[in-house]
Each structure stands twice: as C-alpha cells, then as structure tokens.
Copies of this chain bind each other. A is one copy, B any other.
C-alpha cells in the first residue's frame, strides 16, 4: 500500500507549518497519523540527561506518528525543519472508523508493513562497517530503468547523509567501487552496476 491509498483514509485534515512550528509535543494526547506532502519534519526527544535525539526525519511521501494511534500520549516532539504541508488523520476518528470497518486496520497494517520492510533494509545497510559496502547496497536498492541505469534521485551529498557517511568518505568509496569495476557513473546523473567478478 502506498501513501496515495493511505490518503483515502477517513477524516484527513490538511495543515501548513512554518519552519520551527511544532505539530505536537511529547506528552500531548495523540493527534493522529500524519502524511507529509511537502517539506520536512523531525521527530525528536530530549533524553533524561538533556541529549537531543532525532528519532525520524520525514519528507514528502513519508508517514509518521503511526504508533500514536495506539497509545495515550506522544513520546516525542514533531517539528517542521522547513515550510511543510501535511495531512493529519485524527487518532480518535480513525479508531472509531476502524472498529466498524475491518478494511481500515488491515490497510493501515499493509502500509506499516511496507514501511517496516524499507526501514529494516535501511538499518541493515547502515550497520555495515565499510563505507563501500553501505554505498554499494544503497545503489543496488535504487530502481533500475529499462536501460539498466539507476537514478540517484538526490545529490551524492544527500545520499552520504542518509548512509551516515561524510561527503568525502562517500566519494572515496565511490572511487574504490569504480576502480573495482563494480560501479560505473553515467553522464546522465545515474549509475550502472556490475555483478561481482566471476
């Protein structure tokens, strides 16, 4: 299930946020499931010792605060880090609708299962100690066009941040993969991948 299908859930309300606006704060009663259309939000909390921890960075097409549907309070703050447009599906209304219509919980579960698969794959990728392994797995995860070309869809700098690498480490890893013949950069801003040497 993709966000477009989730958007067909009942009782959605569109909200615009300025940079720095909080959508909710830790301790607030649950607002509901949030879909991001434009902009960027951070879910963060401050540990007992005063350390700021970012739990999630949500961009266009992402959902978040799903767990709040099932809990009495938010456990983190949601703050816009750029001007943003979101849809909020109110928790109480969604809960009532789901009690009457079994397809709602099932569709929600389908959406969450797809997000979980993607996040697990991301975490496994990030758990690889070698920068070249992380980068190669991330490139393999990119969709391939009919011509065998994979498009980054973002800058190398953004990809580096997603991989928990510095810009420099990413370029060094890319150069290593190119020398090994595993990755070929294409002039059109994409890459081609080769299989491991036979």
Contacts and interface: CB of A to CB of B under 8 A. Distances in A.
Contacts of A8: none
Assembly stoichiometry (copies):
2
Contacts of A70: 1, 109-110, 113-114
Contacts of A120: 55-56, 119
A67 B114 contact: yes
Contacts of A128: 164
Task: Sort chain A's interface into a size bin.
Answer: 35 or more
Contacts of A116: 66-67, 112, 115-116, 119
Given A99-B106, A102-B102, 6 more contacts: A67-B113, A69-B109, A98-B102, A105-B108, A123-B126, A127-B163
A55 B128 CA distance: 12
Determine which residue in A57, A67, A98 has the highest number of CB atoms from chain B within 10 A of its CB, and name it. A67
Interface in A38-84: 47-51, 53-57, 66-67, 69-70
17 contacts: A48-B144, A49-B140, A50-B196, A51-B136, A51-B196, A55-B121, A56-B120, A99-B102, A101-B102, A103-B105, A105-B105, A108-B109, A109-B109, A109-B112, A112-B116, A126-B127, A164-B164
Nearest to A198: B50
B164 A55 contact: no
Contacts of A123: 119, 122-123, 126
B195 A49 contact: yes
A124 B50 contact: no
Contacts of A165: 129
A100 interface: yes
Nearest to A124: B54
Contacts of A4: none
